[in-house]
Homo-oligomer: A and B are copies of this chain.
Amino acid sequence: MSEVLQKAQKARAAARQAAFLTAAQKNKALRSMAQDLIQNMPVILQANAEDRQRAVRNKMPSALLDRLTLNARRIKGMAAGLRTLAGLPDPNQRILEEIKRPNGLRITKIAVPLGVIALIYEARPNVTADAAGLCLKAGSAVILRGGSAAAASNKIIADILRQTLRRQRLPEDIIQSIATAGHRAVAELMSLREYIDLLIPRGGAELIRRTVAEAAIPVLETGTGNCHVYVDSAADLRKAYNIVWNAKTQRPSVCNAAESLLVHRAVAASFLPKILPALTAAGVILHGCAETRKYAPQVLPATAADYGREYLDLEISVKVVGSLREAIEHIYRYGTKHTEAIVTENKKNAEQFLREVDAAAVLVNASTRFTDGGEFGFGCELGISTQKLHARGPLGLREMMSYKYLVRGSGQVRK
């Protein structure tokens, strides 16, 4: 039997137990996991150094190397995430709705665990701890399939967390980590309908495309964010400057970073000569329309491919538009329904943008970087969903739940 099938079967069996753990058991385990990660920091860093040395030899791009890298601060961040989870209310068995029917039936809709959640992700080892903790708290088992570039880091983190569960006499099989490299293992995982309830691909566009095309299991798509900032004619340009700067440069490798800047023609002459040189000075490569290029000679000509691209790096497309309508249509055409922002002091324009732009998060006068489980107050997250089904935007604890209807009667039959 393959590693994947074996672990999927173990996860399925453990999921039934995970669903009935008490909040106290789960929270105690999460706090111990946090402690164990901190205590084992030297071995985690050692494993991560191995992964990083291999990545550097393989000439991994800098944005990806940033995601792969663990340090004391990031490990403390992982531990803090687990402690945050421990402090959140238990989502399992939460009453969502109560219905009383005329025939006397009492219907209660309650949140229940999804069962077995499989995560396929790239070389970002902090996801291992986040996902294991979040799924445990959600009462589900988890199957982790991290990128091979982070194999050593992922293995040590999963081993530590399983050890914590074992020491607490909880079923360690709630956490499964797949070591087998290569696409065949992933393909097998995506076929195991009987054992896995939900598949979350977290990573680049190609991983997500492949998962959606191949998986026989329900998928939650995450991550591809071609996020726009639209600077309206009624924008406060100081706010616009700060927001564009933050959205593009604060952490360019993540999905909620801005990838495209739209500027209303009425403010182009006052705004672009300020923001463009500043971005260039920060190392941002600019691709702009003809009008944009009049304000800064270093701007490369933008193609349709540029407007559709998620750079995930210090690179951005820029376009001057004639109206709010044109901005909305541009976003409809090129956006990925992740996060879209308008900067404006005009309430009517703001409300029109909020209403007409279809994305997981639509922001007024705030950086796109806020589309994040932590920033929304959800605690940890498993990514940002860009699909419309089940959950949209940050995937926190509550988004990892299903529900069921409990119906209490006294002998009712249907007429």
A414 lies within 8 A of B112 (CB)? no
Minimum Cβ distance to chain B for residue A6 (Å):
20
* Chain A window 356-371, contacts with chain B (Cβ cutoff 8 Å), 1 for yes, 0 for no: 0011111111110111
Choose, from A151-159, A267-275, A314-322, A403-411, the stretch at the interface.
Answer: A403-411
A365 lies within 8 A of B218 (CB)? no
A376 to B409, CA, bound (A): 13
A412 lies within 8 A of B112 (CB)? no
A197 lies within 8 A of B114 (CB)? no
Interface centre among A16, A376, A414, by most chain B C-beta atoms within 10 angstroms, is: A414
Q: Which residues of B have CB within 8 Å of A265? A: none
B366 lies within 8 A of A407 (CB)? yes
A347 to B357, CA, bound (A): 50
B407 lies within 8 A of A363 (CB)? yes
Choose, from A27-35, A49-57, A382-390, the stretch at the interface.
Answer: A382-390
A246 lies within 8 A of B366 (CB)? no
Are A388 and B358 CB-contacts (below 8 A) given A364-B407, A364-B408, A409-B365? no
Are A405 and B393 CB-contacts (below 8 A) given A218-B218, A367-B414, A412-B365? yes
A243 to B105, CA, bound (A): 14
B413 lies within 8 A of A243 (CB)? yes
Considering the complex, give the chain B residue whose CB is closest to the CB of A415. B250
B404 lies within 8 A of A101 (CB)? no
Q: Which residues of B have CB within 8 Å of A245? A: 413
Chain A interface, >50% SS class: mixed
* Chain A window 177-214, contacts with chain B (Cβ cutoff 8 Å), 1 for yes, 0 for no: 00000000000000001000110000000000000110
B219 lies within 8 A of A366 (CB)? no
Q: Which residues of B have CB within 8 Å of A367? A: 412-414
Q: Which residues of B have CB within 8 Å of A212? A: 193, 216
Q: Which residues of B have CB within 8 Å of A405? A: 360-362, 371, 376, 392-393
Q: Which residues of B have CB within 8 Å of A236? A: 411
B409 lies within 8 A of A366 (CB)? yes
A239 at the interface (CB under 8 A from B): yes
B112 lies within 8 A of A218 (CB)? no
A406 lies within 8 A of B354 (CB)? yes
Q: Which residues of B have CB within 8 Å of A358? A: 19, 112, 115, 404
A216 to B367, CA, bound (A): 33
21 of the cross-chain contacts (CB-CB < 8 Å) are: A16-B332, A105-B370, A114-B388, A197-B388, A218-B387, A354-B408, A361-B404, A361-B406, A362-B405, A363-B409, A364-B407, A364-B408, A366-B413, A367-B412, A367-B413, A370-B407, A370-B412, A371-B405, A389-B389, A389-B402, A390-B390
Show the binding face of A for B, using Cβ within 8 Å: 16, 19, 99, 101, 105, 107, 112, 114-115, 193, 197-198, 212-213, 216, 218-220, 236, 238-239, 242-243, 245-247, 250, 332, 350, 354, 358-367, 369-371, 375-377, 387-390, 392-393, 402-414
**Known pairs A197-B389, A362-B406 / 9 extra A-B pairs, C-beta < 8 Å:** A105-B366, A107-B376, A218-B219, A220-B389, A360-B404, A361-B406, A365-B410, A367-B413, A376-B405
